[in-house]
Amino acid sequence: MRLFHFSEDAGIQRFEPRPVRKPAPRRPGQEWLNGPLVWAISEDHQRLYLFPRDCPRIVIWSGNDSSAADRDTWLCGLEPGMQAVAYVERAWAERIATAHIHRYELPVESFESIEDAGMHVSRCTVQPFDLQRVQDLPQALRGAQTELRVVDSLLPLRGVWESSLHASGIRLRNAIGWT
């Protein structure tokens, strides 16, 4: 297993546990996930973070229990070889095309899975052992078998969480009209 942390900052020497900036509602017994932690994402789910930090996005992919009807509705026209679709607002398209980010690889020993879309957390300081600049984000998404779709609004995608597909919404507070 490989774990990564993505950042626009190329100078991070070590990751210190810190609480999330905006606490999220958590299931009973999981309130600790808002506390001081270092967050990482598995290689299989890195597609969720191949964006500028504040970019609102919804990434959708199929699972073993996903229905054909839901795949037809939400993943219609998926390009051959792609496993997921990432939806972004048109206002972010140029930034995605021109931005770069940094991918830190982290040692796995202190991390534990939270059993949610490849996310892992560590309660202790973590020192990265590799750093790579990701220059072409659209190409990096394609390399992660993810089709990028630009839409005027993410609001019509709200219903995907009622489907049998996997969906991840990140920085949606920055999406036009999202509350």
pLDDT tens-digit map of 7-42 = 999 999 999 998 877 777 777 877 777 778 899 999
Q: Is residue 36 part of a domain?
A: yes
Q: Is residue 82 part of a domain?
A: yes
Q: Is residue 125 part of a domain?
A: yes
Q: Is the pLDDT of residue 169 over 90?
A: yes
Q: Is residue 140 part of a domain?
A: yes
Residues forming beta bridges with residue 133, ordered by sequence position = 102
Tell me what pLDDT residue 34 has. Answer: 73
Domain that includes residue 50, residue range: 3-174
Quote the DSSP letter at residue 156.
Answer: G
Q: Is residue 179 part of a domain?
A: no
Burial of 75 (0-12, 13-18, 19+ CB in 10 A): buried
Helices (H) and strands (E) in the chain, counts: 3, 10
Q: Is residue 123 part of a domain?
A: yes
Share of the chain above pLDDT 90, in %: 78
Number of domains making up the chain: 1
Top-confidence residue, 33 or 52 = 52
Q: Is the pLDDT of residue 109 over 90?
A: yes
- Mean pLDDT over 79-90 rounds to 94
Q: Is residue 75 part of a domain?
A: yes
Q: Is residue 109 part of a domain?
A: yes
Q: Which residue, among 96, 66, 109, 103, has the nearest Cα to 84 in the 3D structure?
A: 66
